[in-house]
Chains A and B, each alone.
Chain A
Amino acid sequence: MEPNYLEYKGKYKGIFAWIFSTDHKRIGLLYLYAVGAFFCVGALLGLLMKLELIAPDKTIMEAQVYNSVFTLHGITMIFLVVIPGLPAVFGNFLLPIMIGAKDVAFPKLNLLSWWVYVFGALLALSSQFMGSGPPDTGWTFYAPYSFQTQSNVLPAVMGAFVLGFSSILTGLNFIVTMHRMRAPGMGWFRMPLFPWTLYATAWIQLLATPIVGITLLMIVAERTLGIGFFDPAKGGDPILYQHLFWIYSHPAVYIMILPAMGAISEILPTFSKKPIFGYKALVFSSLAIALVGYFVWGHHMFTAGMSGTALYAFSFLTFLVAIPSAIKVFNWVSTLYKASIDMQTPFYWATSFIFVFMIGGFSGLVLGALATNVHVHDTAFVVAHFHFIVFGGVGYAFFGAIHYWFPKIWGRMYDVKWANFGWLTFFIGYLALYGPMFYLGLVGMPRRYFDYLPEYHGPNILSSLGAIVMIGGLAIIITNLIISSRRGETAKANPWGGSTLEWTVPSPPPLENFEEIPVVDKNPYEYK
């Protein structure tokens, strides 16, 4: 029996055996630790904002500090946490195993992606400590403010550019891996759904990220050389910046959410003991989301000043994206119908994912409709919608995924009672935190303000208390996972009765995953 990947001794020792490892499983864990650390930082920044908003006027910080905090919260959470979140962590760890391969197509490039990620993260975070004060532009770096502000925007923009490289390299690696390295017998339509969503995601990473890369370089040129592309004084057009930015950053939302949907599509059939309902519909809806999602960026700019025709087109296309998303929800719910459901922690996460994802999705239609958009644009409603989709989507799927694959990754089992208690605390806190913000936005509270009128006080108290409860839930979940990864009971190879390939190898998997490459002769979700 080969030693498992955690115990394997290569030519490097200690920490170098990890940071120089080209094993996709170790790289996945490297990403997990980095993403996890940044997530905790981002979550605490969010908590600080909520504490500021617990009462009108200054509570714990000045307006300028608040601006820097929401900027750093955005940059950290978007570029460092949710974009690499599921693809780089679980994609790296599981993609090769789920398609019956020994590693990704380019293992060295994979390690390079992680190093580029770390370098980009340090560059982005260095903006906090150097130069003329932390950036205060928000994570969107809107022109012309981003090249007029005295704050230290340059390293943050450069960091985001470098992080884009890492994302592109991961996507490239995954596409080639899926094209070349599927096990014999695994046709495209025998591939599990998590790899399928990674495939759709990888294409977005590849085709959308370069646009934001060049756009960020233009901001750099604007700040350093005064080149004038987005400067109205020199004939440039700031709205063009918004277009270029959202051409990437809207598809980026699907980079975040698609693999999350993939993880849910793995968890539900396993705990339903039933083949997933509408496998092909789920595959094609993923591809449709990736495709249509590329053409909806204008819905971020309904009040920025576009032609009426453009407004109608973008609004219509936005409504179209709701269709494949709804197909997924119907299929997930149909999978549960007449199933013999096994109520385990990942199942709680998956079902609560569907719940919050639907709220996020429907509120997205409110924003996608032109008339209502004008009313709620740039209010707390947008923040609530966004957090229901991205934090509700990616966050719940991420925690679902980590509770689902935990025994596979560490070969140990977590404490189920604490895990369920953590989930419940988190869920209650989450709803109390973001629910009131829908109401606050509808009655007119703007976003990104450190202060508000007295009549908004009540719901803000509820929201801030929710934030405290939610952070408490997070602390329980993370502590439980860390302790269990060291001292949990030993897990079996297939504790949940899953039917995809990762459950056929030992927990934790051996260095090269499979002693012999498996031959696949059945569909991914078949249960005895």
Chain B
Amino acid sequence: MEQHSGHALVHRDDEASKIGMWLFIFTELLLFGGLFVVYAVYRHLNPVAFHLAAEELDVTVGTINTVILLVSSMTIAMATSSIKLGNKRLTLLLLSITMILAIIFMVNKYFEWGGKISHGIYPNSQTLLDLSQGDVLFFGLYYAMTGLHALHIIVGLVIIAVMFFKVWNGSINNDYNVQLENSGLYWHLVDLIWIFLFPLFYLIT
């Protein structure tokens, strides 16, 4: 029989942890799914306004951010592989790159939002309310969806920072690394949602 201090069962099931993470990812997809439904309905009702409003967004910044997130997804996947091979230094390096890329993404986002806000385009602003109803809804969705996504980037950054620390102190290693793998899954989810947001707001004009 296993010994227990307090009520700490010696119970490790990596497969269970991964199933749990996948289930959590379902819930995240549905969370954004609600907003995608709203987007679909209002795009259907205001096709012209959505078309014109989308041309206001900077495709170059959007493309750069897409590339940044794709590369960061690659680096975190490589980090998971390298910890399984027991290469701690490489893992730490790859996690650092991932975090730096995430920060660059947020900086770009800051300037992008800042530019729009300095033009007076933000929810409930007089400039926006003077535009058509389709514009109000487009930019409302723009701020809500990219904002919720940015929130996920920040949460992801914190998680990756914790993973970095755990790899550094050895509690994540070549034998036990399911937490890092799950963090990678979460980061891919954040990436995947952006892959849908990018065309919906920047490309479909």
Does chain A bind chain B?
yes
Please state if B34 and A215 are interface contacts (CB–CB under 8 Å). Answer: yes
Please state if A23 and B7 are interface contacts (CB–CB under 8 Å). Answer: yes
> Residues of B contacting A21 with CB < 8 Å?
7
User: Of B11, B31, B46, B132, which one neighbours A210 at CB under 8 angstroms?
Assistant: B31
> Residues of B contacting A173 with CB < 8 Å?
20
Please state if B123 and A180 are interface contacts (CB–CB under 8 Å). Answer: no
Q: If the complex has contacts A21-B7, A105-B16, are A210 and B136 also in contact, measured as CB distance less than 8 A?
A: no
Verify if A228 is at the interface (C-beta below 8 Å from B).
Answer: yes
Q: B-side binding surface: helix, strand, loop or mixed?
A: helix
User: Of A215, A225, A226, A235, which one neighbours B133 at CB under 8 angstroms?
Assistant: A235
Please state if A11 and B124 are interface contacts (CB–CB under 8 Å). Answer: no
Please state if A244 and B137 are interface contacts (CB–CB under 8 Å). Answer: no
Please state if A210 and B30 are interface contacts (CB–CB under 8 Å). Answer: yes
Verify if B196 is at the interface (C-beta below 8 Å from A).
Answer: no
Q: Which of A197-230 contact B (CB under 8 A)?
A: 206-211, 213-215, 217-218, 221, 225-229
In the complex, how many angstroms separate the beta carbon of A42 from the nearest chain B beta carbon?
A: 27
> Residues of A contacting B37 with CB < 8 Å?
244
Q: If the complex has contacts A23-B7, A234-B133, A235-B136, are A240 and B16 also in contact, measured as CB distance less than 8 A?
A: no
Please state if B4 and A512 are interface contacts (CB–CB under 8 Å). Answer: yes
Please state if B16 and A511 are interface contacts (CB–CB under 8 Å). Answer: no
User: Of B6, B30, B42, B148, which one neighbours A211 at CB under 8 angstroms?
Assistant: B30
In the bound complex, what is the Cα–Cα distance between A168 and B140 (angstroms)?
28
In the bound complex, what is the Cα–Cα distance between A237 and B20 (angstroms)?
36
Verify if B90 is at the interface (C-beta below 8 Å from A).
Answer: no
> Residues of B contacting A168 with CB < 8 Å?
27
User: Of B20, B27, B42, which one neighbours A209 at CB under 8 angstroms?
Assistant: B27
Verify if A172 is at the interface (C-beta below 8 Å from B).
Answer: yes
> Residues of A contacting B111 with CB < 8 Å?
none
Please state if B38 and A229 are interface contacts (CB–CB under 8 Å). Answer: yes
Q: If the complex has contacts A214-B35, A512-B4, are A172 and B24 also in contact, measured as CB distance less than 8 A?
A: yes
In the complex, how many angstroms separate the beta carbon of B8 from the nearest chain A beta carbon?
A: 8
> Residues of B contacting A236 with CB < 8 Å?
137
Q: Mark B125-145, 1 if CB is under 8 A from A, else 0.
A: 000010011101100110110
Q: Which of A22, A23, A106, A228 neighbours the largest number of chain B CB atoms within 10 Å of its CB?
A: A228
Verify if A417 is at the interface (C-beta below 8 Å from B).
Answer: no
Please state if B31 and A221 are interface contacts (CB–CB under 8 Å). Answer: no
Q: Mark B52-93, 1 if CB is under 8 A from A, else 0.
A: 000000000000000000000000000000000000000000
User: Of A102, A105, A211, A229, which one neighbours B33 at CB under 8 angstroms?
Assistant: A211
Please state if A214 and B123 are interface contacts (CB–CB under 8 Å). Answer: no
User: Of A22, A214, A237, which one neighbours B7 at CB under 8 angstroms?
Assistant: A22
Please state if B20 and A176 are interface contacts (CB–CB under 8 Å). Answer: yes
In the bound complex, what is the Cα–Cα distance between A307 and B83 (angstroms)?
56
> Residues of B contacting A45 with CB < 8 Å?
none
In the complex, how many angstroms separate the beta carbon of B195 from the nearest chain A beta carbon?
A: 19
Please state if A228 and B32 are interface contacts (CB–CB under 8 Å). Answer: no
Verify if A267 is at the interface (C-beta below 8 Å from B).
Answer: no
In the bound complex, what is the Cα–Cα distance between A217 and B20 (angstroms)?
24
Of all chain B residues, the one with the shortest Cβ separation from A202 is: B23
Q: If the complex has contacts A210-B33, A228-B137, are A11 and B6 also in contact, measured as CB distance less than 8 A?
A: yes
Verify if A10 is at the interface (C-beta below 8 Å from B).
Answer: yes
> Residues of B contacting A213 with CB < 8 Å?
31, 34
Q: Which of B9-29 contact A (CB under 8 A)?
A: 9, 11, 13, 15-16, 19-20, 23-24, 26-28
In the complex, how many angstroms separate the beta carbon of B144 from the nearest chain A beta carbon?
A: 6
Please state if B5 and A221 are interface contacts (CB–CB under 8 Å). Answer: no
In the bound complex, what is the Cα–Cα distance between A55 and B9 (angstroms)?
59
In the bound complex, what is the Cα–Cα distance between A102 and B27 (angstroms)?
27
Please state if B34 and A244 are interface contacts (CB–CB under 8 Å). Answer: yes
> Residues of A contacting B13 with CB < 8 Å?
105, 180
Q: Which of A102, A172, A173 neighbours the largest number of chain B CB atoms within 10 Å of its CB?
A: A172
> Residues of A contacting B1 with CB < 8 Å?
515
Please state if B7 and A206 are interface contacts (CB–CB under 8 Å). Answer: no
Which 7 pairs between the two chains have the least Cβ-Cβ distance?
A235-B133, A226-B124, A214-B34, A210-B30, A210-B31, A10-B6, A225-B123
List 9 interface pairs A-B (beta carbons < 8 Å), by A numbering.
A102-B9, A103-B11, A107-B7, A176-B19, A225-B124, A229-B38, A229-B137, A229-B144, A240-B41
Which A residues fall within an 8 A CB radius of B? 8, 10-12, 21-23, 102-103, 105-107, 109, 168, 172-173, 175-176, 179-181, 206-211, 213-215, 217-218, 221, 225-229, 234-237, 240, 244, 511-512, 515
Could you list 8 further interchain pairs (A-B, Cβ under 8 angstroms) beyond the known A206-B23, A211-B34, A235-B42?
A106-B16, A176-B20, A180-B16, A214-B31, A214-B32, A234-B136, A235-B134, A235-B137
